[in-house]
Amino acid sequence: MILNSSKFNSLNKLNYTFRGNFAFTLIELLVVIAIIGILSALIIIGMNSTTQKATIAKAQVFSNSLRNSLMGNLVSEWKFDQVNFPAAGQTPDSWSGGNAGTLYGSGGLQSFPQLQSAASCVSGGCFSFDGTDDFVDCADGDNLDITDAITISAWAYKEGVYVDANTIVGKLETAYWVYVYSSHNIKVWTNIGGASIPRTTSANTFSDNQWHYVVFSYNENGGSNNFNIYIDGVNKYATTLAGKISTNNSDFHIGSSGGSGSYFFTGRIDDVRIFNAAMPTSQIQQMYFVGINKLLAKNQITENEYNNRIADLTNNYAKE
């Protein structure tokens, strides 16, 4: 079987767009090649049989191995696959080990964030948060005070009643704070160059009861459009800012802003990562591919939704 001409042209546009926007390193070029290869395979493959799903699983293994070669700028990673490690009431920083998270919460539907089975998560386990007082405190390691270039990524599944702000990660708005807003969109509140203000995607870009891949990146020396917010691999907000990200003595929280209002998250969060670089669009999209392949394999998304997500991504490739 071969790709029809329109899909082939979309992939060619993707390749052309990337070459026009980035000065590729070899690693980044490999990422783009991998994305094109995975896209081609997944468009060609029907998904009704066990054999076909096994083929997708093999693509995931390849994508994960490629991911591991791109982690030179990864500072910390919380996979949320374990609890009570490295100590009671903790979950590990699975990358550096230096920023283990401590689980907090005493009221609401549960006493603290609860480890969920792999069947209801993106990759391995994940934590559910009750929206009352659950959060993970990852302390205030020096390597979390990033000033020049940063990427924060997480998978988030929003449930329950919306409050004004539903925190995914936060180190207060005086540094950086990523949350789902009541307009069903993503806001990132940062203090850059002394200006502490929120920046937001359009309304209704983040839907309830679905897994979404949320990414915020900033590069002080990145030139135009150096501040970006992505949802599901698509750039939903871009602007140009100047200055460094401010630092503070607040702990890095997952599921809470860390401030007096706290703004707790209701739902599930998985695979939180923080990098000391603004990761290229190519890697962000590759990581999203890995995630939706896993969601499909676990029947957390239908084949129709999977195809729609692929179509949305390919359409936005052509626009960038």
Residue 161 pLDDT class (50, 70, 90 cuts): confident
Nearest to 231 by CA among 296, 317, 154: 154
Looking at the chain, the whole-number percentage of residues with pLDDT higher than 90 is 66
Structure tokens at 209: 């009861």
Structural domains of the chain, with CATH: 5-69+281-319 (no CATH), 79-275 (2.60.120.200)
pLDDT in tens, 214-257: 999 999 999 999 999 999 999 999 999 999 999 999 999 999 98
Peptide bond into 86 cis (omega under 30): yes
Where do we find the tokens 């070669």?
69
Highest-confidence segment of 32-36, 63-67, 203-207: 203-207
Give me the mean pLDDT over the 172-182 stretch. Answer: 92
How many Cβ atoms sit within 10 Å of the Cβ of residue 42?
19
pLDDT in tens, 263-292: 999 999 999 999 999 999 988 998 999 999
pLDDT in tens, 94-130: 998 899 999 999 877 888 999 999 999 999 999 999 9
C-alpha span between 230 and 291 (Å, rounded): 15
pLDDT in tens, 289-304: 999 999 999 999 999 9
